[in-house]
Amino acid sequence: MRYAAYRLGDKAMKILEERILRDGVVKPGGILKVDSFLNHQIDPQLCYEMAQEIHRLFEGERITKILTIEASGISVAVMTGLVFGVPAVFAKKAAGRNTSSEVYSSPVYSYTKQVTKDVIVAKEYLSAGDRVLIVDDFLAMGSALEGLCDIVAQAGAEAVGAAVVIEKAFQPGGDRLRAGGLRVEALARVRSMSDESLEFVKE
């Protein structure tokens, strides 16, 4: 086990928490690197199990579309779409500002890369009648989810909720989005982390 001290949460996805503890690496600047199973190399079976858990959380919500953002969100989103039986749309990162009349567009600031990029979705893939589940790999400051919510609103569709793989609960994005009325579910919520310890939220 990598961490001298750790604590599991009460979430259903113990398998995910244990994987983060085993394979995650805390990097300087508050980065939790999970490249071995989510962000560079993907464990498809784990992805599928996460999609099943997301389905358990949101079934009955009559979801019509999964929305994510390239590139790391795609694997979980497409598995989630498979389980729900609905299409998955991935927002693209545009170079600079995009003002095409054919796309919905929203600026997203990346704290990791310290740059703002517009994310865009072609208008034909989101409609007023859609009930959208937003899926992403990480939730920290919440900028990506806010941009995706903005795009859903521009389409006149409804954001039923957001499902993220890992929430850094010590950063304000999740609480701010929940305070704004969005249902946000995280499969693993990290309460604190350092080189030596990593604790999940116990609820």
Give me the residues that bind a copy of itself (CB under 8 A), please. Answer: 35-37, 40-45, 47-48, 70-71, 74-75, 77-79, 81-82, 85-90, 92, 121-122, 124-125
Rounded to the nearest whole angstrom, what is the least distance from the CB of residue 111 to a copy of itself in the complex?
A: 18
Is residue 144 reached through a cis peptide bond, with omega within 30 degrees of 0 on the bond before it?
no
82: left (phi over 0), alpha (psi -120 to 50) or beta: alpha
Q: Does residue 154 contact residue 104 with C-beta atoms inside 8 Å?
A: yes
Q: Does residue 82 contact residue 54 with C-beta atoms inside 8 Å?
A: no
Q: Does residue 184 contact residue 57 with C-beta atoms inside 8 Å?
A: no
Rounded to the nearest whole angstrom, what is the least distance from the CB of residue 63 to a copy of itself in the complex?
A: 13
Rounded to the nearest whole angstrom, what is the least distance from the CB of residue 180 to a copy of itself in the complex?
A: 27
Decide whether 39 or 171 has the Cβ nearer to a copy of itself: 39
Rounded to the nearest whole angstrom, what is the least distance from the CB of residue 25 to a copy of itself in the complex?
A: 11
Decide whether 12 or 71 has the Cβ nearer to a copy of itself: 71
Rounded to the nearest whole angstrom, what is the least distance from the CB of residue 202 to a copy of itself in the complex?
A: 31
Rounded to the nearest whole angstrom, what is the least distance from the CB of residue 4 to a copy of itself in the complex?
A: 23
Decide whether 83 or 201 has the Cβ nearer to a copy of itself: 83
Burial annotation 109-140 (CB, 10 A radius, 16+ → b, else e): eeeeeeeebbbbbeeebbeeebbbbbbbbbbb
Q: How many CB atoms lie within 10 A of CB 69?
A: 25
Decide whether 158 or 171 has the Cβ nearer to a copy of itself: 158
Decide whether 46 or 177 has the Cβ nearer to a copy of itself: 46
Decide whether 100 or 197 has the Cβ nearer to a copy of itself: 100
Which of 55, 163, 160, 147 is CA-nearest to residue 103?
Answer: 147
Q: Does residue 81 contact residue 49 with C-beta atoms inside 8 Å?
A: no
